[in-house]
Structure 1
Amino acid sequence: MFSYFLSKQQHKLLALFIVLLVGSFFSTVRAQDYPRPAIDIDNFIQELFSVQSEDINYEDVYETLFQFYRSPLNLNTASREDLESLFVLSELQINSLLKHININGKLLSIYEIQAIPHFDATTIYRLLPFVFVRPAGLYIDARPLWQRILRERESNYLILRYDRVLQKKKGFTPADTNSKGEPNSRYAGSPGRMYTRYRISHRKDFSLGFTVEKDDGEQLTWDTRTRRYGADFLSFHAFVENQGRLKALALGDYQLQFGQSLLLAGGFNIGKGAETVQTIRRSNLGIRPYTSTLESGFFRGVAATYQFNRIEVTGFYSYNLMDANVLNSGDTLSQTEAFIQSFQTSGFHRTATEINAKGNIGERIVGSNVLYRSKDRNFQAGAIMLHTRYSKELKREDRIYNRFEFNGQENYNLGAHLSYNWQNFTFFGEGAQSKSGGRGAVAGFVSSLAPHIELAMLYRNFDKNFHSFYGSALGEGSRNINEEGIYWGIKVRPFKKIQLAAYYDRFRFPWLRFQADAPSSGHEFLARASYKFSRQVQLFGQYREEVKQKNQPNNSSNIDFLINTTRRNYIINLNYRMPRTLTLHSRLQMSSYQEGDMPITQGYALVQDVGFKVGKFTIDIRFSLFDTEDFNNRQYVFEKDVLWAFSIPAYSGVGFRNYALVRYRLSRKINIWLRYAQFSYRNQNTVGSGLEEIQGSVRSEIKAQVRIKF
């Protein structure tokens, strides 16, 4: 009735007013999004890993965290698996968030999480870099996929990197001769490592990219006979997800993770560390593009996931060439046949022996996973089938400790997995069997007993003849075989600024292992206490003890006896951060090692890091000294490096380790990194061994990288 009395001109003014009012409302809602703080991913990773190790794929960890930061989760649409994979929220906090959204509707602003029960200031601060809030459906990108790819600006970049050791290694010196007059082995290629990577991606939508790498000592050559085509390692992937019922499709190189990683593990698997509760559980991440430079442990082919109501079906096919030592049968009464003696997983192809082992074995894998999710997503159950076949038969060297290891040409696995969320408990488990009849199983729970108490337990049992080539469930060994154990982890926050964390892991190995000629056992214990003086200053102390059994050294009898080896690690760490200006990290690492009743040996590393920003420059410097009595007391210390590169060297011997890392922001689209690092040893005339040996007491490295964003 009111509009009846308005003129035509007034109608236009009223319509314009309404448009402006609605537009200003949504602009206000969007403006209420808290500006996501920058995150020091290097420091975040150090908090997750209690003791650094050269066996962990930090590149994959860094990649996953960085993708979460560049393409954060929308809390209004994030699934339970997404929230679990951040390793920031407890079961109680995840349940509180999902319950709040279910009762009150979608979040309108990131500030609303302050009103969610059990979300304390520390948790919110750690969570903010990886999440945002946007009303569901308000900013849906309806453009066709090809337009989204062509116009992606947030994550569209090219990286070029070069690094090398300045001193000459023995592998690059002229070849001398051995006692038979034959030339000794040398590296075929030039010094220096070259790396190129291009990727365009948007989380939960698509990813396209390739990686090219040449390691130090490898050749840039085109030789089809040795399967070398320019650079030594080439990787490519094309990946889309959430295209209607097609949940994921990967072409090229990819990874798979289902269940508790007993059969298929890929991506962000941490295991035992300073995060004593959340990291023991695995999530059904499904298909993920492979972007690492590790030259093994991935699939090459095609994989797809399709959804039928509450059931997701994944099928995958892979054919990849693997490095292996291939020998010919010496049986003259039968036809000579080639067989595999061992696989080579280093990825190096520098010497004639390494080049001859490159890609000479074909591995074909076919498999599927069927996953059911309940309507409320609190219950999940799945089944996995996996078949692996090699182009040649594997015949391991006949040693008693590997009597039950895989031998043959093909293997298959059948398995099932489930998880169930009940109140503040999440129960999970997975079981599987291999062709040999060996079985493996993991089962456990993660819980929030109270707002400030978290508890976790995991039991695992892997038969001595259980064979899983792509599994990585939590365990003491690097592979899921010949092990039984139980893990308990707890985390307590008795006061606002204090957090206590601990775990105890008891394990045994029913069959013989390398350097343990009898069934053996052991345990591992970690305790960590941290105190946060303020948002800028944090102190933590940590103690870790590991006891294992091994053969008694220097034993002259015909029977090997086992002795206990005890390794203890101590860390005191102080962090100070002045936002956008200065960071200081001071750390003292100490260790001791003892075999049986032999004398205790010790080692330590004292580290001081300084980081500061000046204009367009970001500079990080380390000064450190170390003193270790033997290699058993080597100190692994995480070092800052250029983007997507990692340095975790072993500080062993007596000396100094220093580095300087400079980042220069040339423009909004171009960033440049330069890094110089040096080991300076005392009382040593050489550094390294074998073809990596350097004459003198100094080992220096330089690294340069440029990232161009499009």
Structure 2
Amino acid sequence: MINDILFSVMNRPLVFRILACVVCLDLFEVKGQTNDWRSYVQEMAEEEPDETILENMIEELIQLENHPMNLNAVTRDALERFPLLSAGEAAGLADFLTKNRPVYTVYELRNVPSLSFNKIQLILPFFFVGEFETQEASLRMRDVLRYGKKELQIRLDKTLTERAGYRTYPDSVLARYPNRKYAGEDFYHSLRFAFSYREKVQFGVIVEKDAGEPLFRPLKGFDHDGFYFILREEKGFLKNVTLGDYRLSFGQGLIVNNDFMISKSWAVTNIVRRTQAPKRHFSAAESGFFRGGAAVFNLNPVSVTLFYSRKLIDANLSDEEITSFKTDGYHRTPLEISKKGNTREQVAGANVNYRKDRLQIGASAVYYSYNRKDNPALRDYNRYYLRGYHHWNASVDYSYRFSHLVVAGETAVAGNGAVATLNAIHYNPSSRLSVSLLHRYFPISYNALYGQAFSEGGKVQNEQGIYLGATCSLSSRISLTSYIDYVYFPWMKYGVDTPSHAIDGYFLGTYSFSDASKLDLRYKFKRKEKNAHYPDDESTTVLPYYTHKLRLRFALVPEKGWYFRSAAEAVRYRQQYVSEEFGYQLSQQIGYRGKGKMTGEMYGSYFDTDSYQTRLYSNERNLLNTFYIPSFYGQGGRLALSLRCAVTSKLSVSVKGAFTHYFDRDFIGTGTEKIDGSDRTDVYMYIRWKF
């Protein structure tokens, strides 16, 4: 299959010439480090892009980077909350610190057996060595006010090319088609304020409007607003008090998890999830979070979490019953505005977690209530979906850590009696080898509205599967990561009228020429099934389809100065009995970061794909604290330029412009987002002020 992809790509002369230039770059040695955590998260995002999940993770990591953890004081709980450490790595680091405090330099992390060299380089910005603290300092209001850090973030995005929803229409047309025009201005805007004192006190406010939404609704302000307040005392009886908007995760996520979820490639070393105390929801996402209050009580060795959420949500209605939940957050047209907050949701739950040495056992329960009946239009594929006004889930989860082995799992029951289970093993005999094995069984009748666990189908329902992943370092320069996931869907799905199967495979090989330069080869394979028609046959059948993706990328990223990333990607899509489709993309990033106030980056790409099925994602970086990964299909090119100016040590301004041109079409998009023409131009601005 790989040969077929390469043959199809190399037969195109333009690709051959440019690819030759990419591969023949001078691979010279430069001292520095390539393990920037932002690049790491970006690479994970390229596997399964989800802007909401990644935005939450980036915000959390930025918060931790601005408030690094003291190795001589950090607690086990704080290490387990750190997203870049797996359960085994966090436990290994906590054990090392318990035995070796005080430590005198962050480079003593190299003595932690469970941490690889690459992982240590990745997490260094989040730690420092301070005074050895034998007990946690008490929380004093004068210290909070004096040493607390404040930050203001302002973001503005605008598409300069006119879209159909912003055109002027005669009143007679709008009277007949009121949803043809947006009610608001053609730009996105958000404003966020955050206050924090270490990890003990966090407070924040966010207001936001999407493009097309009115900037100020009469007497109501922005389209979306939220706040959070978190008070933490790691060793007190009341460990955590949270008010406002927050996120939670219990066990392996079978009943509650609106925290971020990891991609399958990341799961190779992070397969085991952990119960998490409430975290702030600082994202602009308007769904998928709780709004209310939560508290964590410490009854050592038992902790108890209680939470309650009450908020208005958007729903699509028919005869005053919910047919589906609207989660895109858009309120631009009269129809979208009419759905805003038309349903009340209440969620309450609890988790009891016992932890002693290497053993952890938890029990959780959650109850949902709506003021309207949830009643999707009955179809064969949704026969077992949740219906009614109320629902509940309960579960038991466990984990046990041996010296090099972690076993964990969760078994949950739904209100209708359906039982789901997920169990995983992570084996980490050394920092050079890691192996993960996971099995899940999600019945067709199991429903969990806020459940989000390891899955292929995106829901904790109608799925059985087994996943095997491994990563190893053959030497200091060569590392390999691979997984294979076999999935069975015992009931039909949307667009699949019979039970079906899926196979998902992945391989990533990386060769480091130096600390600053590396070459990686990534191959992804996926086989799934969907409804289709035989040629000259009107009847519907279910046929398999295959997707192969190959990427070759070279990166030269010294610690300071000029850096480069060159990539060539190819995709092949084939449905049984149907002709094959191909696509490729060539991209180049050039950037500069030095001691001066200005840093910048330029990104250029050329893509040529046969259809939406062979779409490819942009590898460009977005502005600091923002996340966006557009996808492209057809034939065209994209150019993006971003600049950042550190006006002072506390004030920075970032701007970005992006231009996309298509060679194969006269319009872009459809409906209210339609652009007449083959070009699209976007500008972004981001201001960050610390005070």
TM-score (norm 2): 0.90
Partner Cα separation in structure 2 for residue 261 and residue 318 of structure 1: 18
Which SS does the other structure have where 1:63 is aligned? helix
1:348 match: 330
SS of the residue aligned with 1:127? helix
Q: Which residue is equivalent to 1:218?
A: 213
Q: How many residues align?
A: 657
CA distance in 1, matches of 2:213, 2:225: 14
CA contact (8 A) 1:37 1:128 kept: no
- Is 1:491 matched up with 2:491? no
How far apart in 2 are the matches of 1:657 and 1:542? 23
Letter of the 2:108 partner, please give it: E
String of CA shifts for 1:550-591, please: whole Å, max 9, x gaps.
111367768632111111111111110122211111111211
CA distance in 1, matches of 2:292, 2:344: 13
Amino acid at match of 1:702: V
The amino acid of 1:287's aligned partner reads P
Could you tell me which runs of 5 or more consecutive residues in structure 1 were left unpaired when the two chains were aligned: 1-35, 329-337
- Once residues 35 and 657 of structure 2 are traced to their aligned partners in structure 1, the CA distance between those partners, rounded to angstroms, is 24
Which residue of structure 1 lines up, in the alignment, with residue 658 of structure 2?
A: 677
Do residues 449 (structure 1) and 429 (structure 2) align? yes
Matched, 1:267 2:259: yes
Alignment of 1:298-317 (within 5 A): 298-317=289-308
**Counterpart for residue 688 of structure 2:** 707
Matches within 5 A, 1:4-19: none
Name the structure, 1 or 2, with higher relative contact order (CA <8 Å, separation 6+).
2
Q: 2:345 aligns with which of 353, 363, 367?
A: 363
Are 1:108 and 1:135, in contact at CA under 8 Å, matched by a contact in 2?
no
Aligned match of 1:278: 269
In structure 2, C-alpha distance between the alignment counterparts of 1:125 and 1:611, rounded to whole Å: 21
Contact 2:33–2:558 at 8 Å: present in 1 too?
Answer: no
Q: Note closer, same or farther for the CA distance 1:460–1:76 as it changes in structure 2 (3 Å cut).
A: farther
Residue 588 of structure 2 is aligned with which of 608, 612, 615? 608
Farther-moved stretch of structure 1 (382-391 vs 194-203)? 194-203
The reply to whether residue 248 of structure 1 matches residue 240 of structure 2 is: yes
Q: Cα RMSD between the aligned structures?
A: 2.4
2:371 maps to amino acid: S
Equivalence for 2:408? 428
Amino acid at match of 2:167: T
Question: 2:181 touches 2:333 (CA, 8 Å); kept in 1?
Answer: yes
Is 1:667–2:648 an aligned residue pair?
A: yes
Give the 5 Å matches for 1:56-71. 57-71=53-67
Q: CA deviation at 1:100?
A: 3.8
Kindly state the Cα deviation for residue 493 of structure 1 after the two structures are TM-superposed. 0.9
Aligned to 1:322, which of 301, 313, 326? 313
Name the residue aligned to 1:25: none
Match 2:168 to one of 129, 154, 174: 174
The 8 Å contact of residues 91 and 446 in structure 1, kept in 2 or not, is answered as: no
Alignment of 1:373 with 2:373, yes or no, is: no
Cα 1:398–1:494 shift into 2, 3 Å: same
For the residue of structure 2 that corresponds to 1:643, the secondary structure is coil
Distance 1:703 1:423, change over 3 A: same
The residue that corresponds to 1:654 in the other structure is 635
> Is 2:471–2:481's contact at 8 Å kept on the other side of the alignment?
yes
1:440 Cα deviation after fit? 1.5
The whole-number CA distance in structure 1 between the counterparts of 2:682 and 2:37 is 23
Q: Letter of the aligned partner of 2:395 in structure 1?
A: G
| Cα separation, 2, equivalents of 1:184 and 1:269 | 35
Cα distance in structure 2, aligned partners of 1:87 and 1:499:
22
- Asked whether the 8 Å contact 2:174–2:180 carries over to 1, the reply is no
Post-superposition CA distance 1:630-664 (Å, at most 9, x none): 00111112422222211200121111111111100
> Which residue number in structure 1 is paired with residue 14 of structure 2?
none
> Could you tell which deviates more after superposition, 127-136 or 595-604?
127-136
Per-residue Cα deviation, 1:345-391 (whole angstroms, up to 9, x for no partner)? 110000111000000100011111111111x2x11111111100000
Greater alpha carbon shift after TM alignment, 569-578 vs 44-53: 44-53
- Is the partner of 1:189 in helix, strand or coil? coil
Deviates more, 1:473-482 or 1:241-250: 241-250
Distance in 2, matches of 1:553 and 1:70, equals 55
Query: Is the aligned partner of 1:594 residue 2:574?
Result: yes
Q: Percent identity?
A: 30
Structure 1 pair 553–135 and aligned structure 2 pair: CA distance change class (3 A): farther
Question: Could you tell me how far 1:119 is from its partner in structure 2?
Answer: 5.1
Contact 2:116 2:431 in 1 (8 A): no
Residues 81 and 307 (structure 1 numbering): CA distance in 2 closer, same or farther, change over 3 Å?
closer
1:461, CA displacement in angstroms? 0.9
Contact 2:71-2:97 at 8 Å conserved across structures: no
1:469 to 449, 454, 460: 449
User: In the TM superposition, what whole-angstrom CA distance separates every residue of 1:457-478 from its partner, at most 9, and x where no partner exists?
Assistant: 1111111111111111100011
In 1, the alpha carbon distance for the partners of 2:277 and 2:535 equals: 49
Aligned 1:183-194 pairs, distance under 5 A: 185-194=180-189
Opposite residue 215 of structure 1, the aligned amino acid is D
Inter-partner Cα distance in structure 2 for 1:278 and 1:650:
27
Q: Check 1:683–1:277 CA distance in 2 against 1; reply closer, same or farther (3 A cut).
A: closer
Alpha-carbon distance in 2 for matches of 1:478, 1:579: 38
Q: Mean Cα displacement is larger for which, 130-139 or 312-321?
A: 130-139
Structure 1 window deviating more from structure 2 (93-102 vs 649-658): it is 93-102
Q: Which runs of 5+ in 2 are unaligned?
A: 1-31
The offset of 1:204, in angstroms, is: 2.9
1:45 alignment partner, one of 41, 53, 71: 41
How far apart are residue 276 of structure 1 and its match? 4.6
1:366 partner amino acid:
A
1:568–1:360 Cα change, 3 Å: same
- Contact between 2:55 and 2:283, CA under 8 Å: does it hold in 1? yes
Tell whether 2:130 aligns with 1:134. Answer: yes
In structure 2, what is the Cα distance between the partners aligned to 1:487 and 1:80? 29
Secondary structure of the structure 1 residue equivalent to 2:345: strand
Is 2:178–2:334's contact at 8 Å kept on the other side of the alignment?
no
SS in 2 for 1:67: helix
Q: Residues 182 and 99 (structure 1 numbering): CA distance in 2 closer, same or farther, change over 3 Å?
A: closer
Given that residues 92 and 451 in structure 1 are in contact (C-alpha distance below 8 angstroms), is that contact kept between their aligned partners in structure 2? no
Alignment of 1:559-598 (within 5 A): 560-598=540-578
One-letter amino acid matched to 2:435: L
**Residues 606 and 624 in structure 1, CA contact (< 8 A), matched pair in contact too:** yes
* Cα deviation 1:186-231 (Å, max 9, x = unaligned): 111111011100001244311100110011000134357xxxx211
The amino acid of 1:236's aligned partner reads F
* Counterpart pick for 2:156 among 151, 158, 162: 162
Residues 1:123 and 1:366: Cα distance change in structure 2 (over 3 Å): closer
Moved more, 304-313 or 276-285: 276-285
Q: SS of the counterpart of 1:61?
A: helix
Once the two structures are TM-superposed, the CA of residue 105 in structure 1 deviates from its matched residue by: 4.1
The answer as to whether partners of 1:204 and 1:242 remain within 8 angstroms in 2 is no
| Structural mapping, 1:393-404, within 5 Å | 393-404=373-384
CA distance in 2, matches of 1:566, 1:430: 32
For 1:346 and 1:119, locate their aligned partners in 2 and report how far apart those are by CA, in whole Å.
39
Q: Aligned-pair distance for 1:125?
A: 1.8
Q: Which has the larger radius of gyration?
A: 1
Equivalent residue for 1:236? 227
Q: Distance in 2 between matches of 1:666 and 1:117?
A: 42
Q: Distance in 2 between matches of 1:381 and 1:251?
A: 27
CA spacing shift, 1:37–1:231, aligned 2, 3 Å = farther
Which of 99, 103, 112 is 2:108 aligned to? 112
- Bigger mean CA offset, 659-668 vs 338-347: 338-347
